[in-house]
Chains A and B, each alone.
Chain A
């Protein structure tokens, strides 16, 4: 959206990933510069890589009336909505706006795909049929997380699920902003979840993109990603005048690489365009940004291309880092996770230094932070780029 975005208040948010359950736990882990990445295999996977798992999902119970939706992805979504008073906050918003005036724009890359992976291992040996208790609509379909959250939160406004790989849950902020601007709703829940599954572990391995070590974004020796899992949700509301100190969505910028299905444009053209559009929609200049939360996946090509785009636009001064060394790459949930980490950075006045990275690649020119940096932060730019060349940048800030 090139036109100025009307800023929206971010009145509630919640987050769960390998760093912790709820925003306080995640903020604490970032302050302590901990990483949630472990050298362990998910389920029966035999991939030599590290993962960022959320412990205890196996034993978590989905709300009884929604048990048809039971799968790892929806469990993670419910666990997340139960933190930070999020579900209660949405219930209060439902009272004031009406359930039909709150939109629900979620994202995911693989939804409950692991349920299908398990079902394919239990096919009827004679007919090939999937087990009778396999539930496609509630677990496998890309919309399953939307259907689940809509019922869990009791919402009846407009909604859908965005699935544009690793930019999905950044792009949902744009959907919410447009729907609110168009008058289709007054508030919106955005976010989503992505969970570990065999497809992404083996798939990224087949592309030679998984690292044996906890991923090291921007490091000279970086050699690939670590896949994590997690969820995050935020409540966006239209406001006439934001209260001082209120967190806000200031801008959204989207673009396409038009280059390759799984490799970013080498000069970062699409990334640069997304950042420029996000700044334009916020009515800001590069110098107005205090910190950049990079996409920074730790593959050779992604970091090089993003660095080029960031350096071209922001120069050598603007501090930036990737938090994927701490969380791993949450794929479809990366956008919301890093948007919320950006909000935590603003709240705490702390730019997180990149975990695991030891020696910055001398070929990369942006100002990458290795250590946490205490400083007042008013505006953050957060990048999310995905397969298919789908790019999205967000500008988040605090009302003066």
Chain B
């Protein structure tokens, strides 16, 4: 399955935006760990900006960056959201409330608890009425989003924005499911090459479990293993190096996703 890559958005520990992160991912500058700074999107109406939970802000920030880099109109671009943890903090707050005697649930918190909260806020913020989906495949969530986005291109979509994100759970869920930090990544994929195309991706689903491509830098490799959305890091590193390479991404048990990248 083939698609062209037009724009990237990135926000993670020590990775503040795609342009700033490229030299780090390419190995030209040292990686400096720092917490990701996640600002609320100015696209959101004031009330929504206040109510939006962190994963929503994260998804909106990287999605907006990718579309800006691609020079595409967000209102006309279908979206694929994917996340392993979804709305973790909201889930925790809801479960605490439901375990209390009063069980006084906040209606805003309830509608923020759905796995597609980010997709809902995104469509409101960008006035996008195009199709949108919200996926999960546990540790394989990035791979799931990538094959779905590319399948949409192959099935006839002109452009698709893929937005993957994860936020750590607060305790006590964190101990049951540790996620090592906030990480968001977005790609704008298209069916045809344009002047903005940075690379062509051949994405293949394999029924063999290939050893996933790793990061050379130890802390980036720890991030790759520690955050499901950061399973995208080897692909980001290949793009940052502007290299023609084939890499293996982790997918479901007994399978993998192979991505062959050629710079345009």
Chain B min CB distance to A111 (Å): 9
Interface band, chain A: 35 or more
Q: Are B99 and A117 neighbours in the complex by a CB distance under 8 Å?
A: yes
Whether A182 touches B137, Cβ cut-off 8 Å, given contacts A128-B171, A258-B128, is no
Chain A residues with CB under 8 Å of chain B are 1-3, 46, 100, 109, 113, 116-117, 120-121, 123, 128-130, 134, 136-137, 140-143, 146-147, 150, 156-165, 171, 174-175, 177-179, 181-184, 198-199, 202-208, 254-262, 269-270, 273, 277, 386-390
- Chain B residues, Cβ within 8 Å of A259: 124
Q: Are A388 and B119 neighbours in the complex by a CB distance under 8 Å?
A: yes
Interface centre among A109, A257, A258, A270, by most chain B C-beta atoms within 10 angstroms, is A258
Q: Are B114 and A130 neighbours in the complex by a CB distance under 8 Å?
A: no
Chain A min CB distance to B193 (Å): 19
In this assembly, does B221 line the interface, its C-beta being within 8 Å of a C-beta of chain A?
no
Chain B residues with CB under 8 Å of chain A are 1, 82, 84, 86, 91, 94-96, 98-99, 103-107, 110-117, 119-121, 123-124, 126-138, 140-141, 144, 147-148, 150-152, 154-157, 171-173, 175-177, 205, 207, 252-255
A256 contact from B106, B130, B177, B252, Cβ within 8 A: B130
Whether A143 touches B154, Cβ cut-off 8 Å, given contacts A150-B252, A389-B123, is no
* Cα distance, A177 to B86, chains bound together (Å): 25
Q: Are B114 and A165 neighbours in the complex by a CB distance under 8 Å?
A: yes
Q: Are B144 and A160 neighbours in the complex by a CB distance under 8 Å?
A: yes
- Chain A residues, Cβ within 8 Å of B123: 256-258, 388-389
Given A1-B155, A179-B151: 8 more A-B contacts, CB < 8 Å: A116-B173, A120-B96, A136-B177, A162-B134, A171-B133, A207-B111, A256-B130, A256-B131
A167 to chain B: closest residue by CB: B116
Q: Are B98 and A202 neighbours in the complex by a CB distance under 8 Å?
A: yes
* Cα distance, A123 to B121, chains bound together (Å): 33
Whether A141 touches B124, Cβ cut-off 8 Å, given contacts A120-B99, A136-B177, is no
A199 contact from B98, B134, B156, B255, Cβ within 8 A: B98
* Cα distance, A181 to B148, chains bound together (Å): 12
* Cα distance, A157 to B152, chains bound together (Å): 18
A198 to chain B: closest residue by CB: B98
- Chain B residues, Cβ within 8 Å of A134: 176
Whether A143 touches B156, Cβ cut-off 8 Å, given contacts A160-B144, A202-B103, is no
Interface centre among B116, B117, B127, by most chain A C-beta atoms within 10 angstroms, is B116
* Cα distance, A254 to B99, chains bound together (Å): 37
Q: Are A199 and B155 neighbours in the complex by a CB distance under 8 Å?
A: no
